[in-house]
Amino acid sequence: MRRLAVGIGAAALSLLLLALAGAAFGHSPRVLLEILVSGSIGSRFALEGTLLKSVPLLLTGLAVVIAFRAGVWNIGGEGQFIVGALAAYLTSRFGTTAALLAAAVAGALWASIASLLRVWRNAPEVLTTILLNFIAIHLLGYCVNGPLQEASGQYPQSDPVPQAAALPLLGGSSLHAGIVVALLVTLASWWLLYRTREGLRLRATGFNPSAAQYAGVDVNAQIARAMALSGAVAGLAGAIELLGVTHRLFERVAAGYGYAGIAVALLAQLHPIATIAAAAFFGALATGAGELQRSASISSSVATFGQAVVILVLILFGSMRAFAPGRDE
């Protein structure tokens, strides 16, 4: 209950600070908040935009939840998202299911590079996942400027995925079936973390690795599995964004979703189900901020500001200390 209060408090405080920042530059805080609300949940169109933005956030957030719960730092969501999108594009001609599976496998493999290097050479995954993000970004840059560039060769982007592979839209809306996939993955993650032995071992590893080891958990293998799972979910996010929204690959296809996933996971206080609410909040914030930019000429980057405030407020409340990964001293 306290965790719920802290989460809501952090979200509210970020909105308050946003309004204050606006006021500092002469915008009416009331108007600003009104636009933010109406632009994110005020109409059917706005609500659909919010839900569309929430889907990748939910999955990248989940990816972070799974890794952090195992006490392993996966800052590589951005890179895993990208290789997921790449793999989905390459396999899209075999249909949606194949593309989604390929993305999950690619994300898992990409993340596993980091966990392998940790187990094998003791290389900290914080650093390796960041490096892998850059390698993925340049790999994508190479692909959309070279082998995968659209046939007309005009822009650094790929041709659209085949119509048959695109995620179907849900009943006359702009929402795609990826939402259903994301929610199912969320439920599956919750079930895995809290209802299976695997989940218990995973959480034990994150909570106290030496105790887990003593209790018979193979900590290294556990971390490797958690990291692969985390990468798979982030890769899936990339595939769903490609097949449901962008339909094309381009350099900025990940658009910071990987990093935003950290804010989502922390706001959810590393609980899979709460991740739905956290992703919806940040999805709404991003969509509302887009409306702020269009109608009030306030930079949409305030959404990023909101993510930062949420994280810092949560640190202030001290609610993260209990899960801070890497306490294996």
Partner 1 sequence: MIEMIIQSLPLAIFASVPLLLAVEGELVAERAGMINLGIEGMMLTAAMTAVFAAQISGSIIAGLFGGIAGALAVAAIFGFFSIRLKADQIVTGTAINLLALGLTGFVYREMQQSAIFVRSVPHVGAAAENAIAIVSWIVIPILLSLMLWMTAFGLRLRACGEYPRAVAASGPSVAMHRWAALVIEAVLVGAAGADLSLALSSGFAENMTSGRGFIALSIVIFGRWKTRGILLGTAVFGIAAALQYALQAMNQSLQFHLLLAIPYVVTLLILCGIAGKVRAPESLGRDA
Q: Could you say whether residue 262 binds partner 1 (CB under 8 A)?
A: yes
Helix (H, G, I), strand (E, B) or coil at 323: helix
Rg of the chain taking only CA atoms, in angstroms: 20
Least CB distance to partner 1 at residue 69 (A): 15
**3-state DSSP percent of the chain in helix, strand and coil, to 5:** 75, 0, 25
In the complex, minimum distance from the CB of residue 243 to partner 1, in angstroms, rounded to a whole number = 24
Decide if 88 contacts 305 (C-beta within 8 A). no
Using DSSP, state whether 242 is helix, strand or coil: helix
Please, which residue, 145 or 213, has the CB nearer to partner 1? 145
Beta carbons within 10 angstroms of residue 126's beta carbon: 16
Binding mask 200-229 for partner 1 (x = CB under 8 A): ------------------------------
Burial 53-73 (b: 16+ CB within 10 A, else e): bbbbbbbbbbbbbbbbbbbbb
Stretch that binds partner 1, among 2-10, 36-44, 118-126, 171-179 (CB under 8 A): 118-126
Residue 135 found at the interface with partner 1 (CB under 8 A): yes
Q: Tell me if 266 contacts partner 1 by CB under 8 A.
A: yes
Q: Which of 102, 117, 193, 267 binds partner 1 (CB under 8 A)?
A: 117
User: And the tokens for 2?
Assistant: 């306290």
Which residues are near partner 1 by CB under 8 A? Answer: 21, 25, 73, 75, 117, 120-121, 123-124, 126-128, 130-135, 138-139, 141-142, 145-146, 259-260, 262-263, 266, 297-309, 311-312, 315-316, 318, 320-321, 324-326, 329
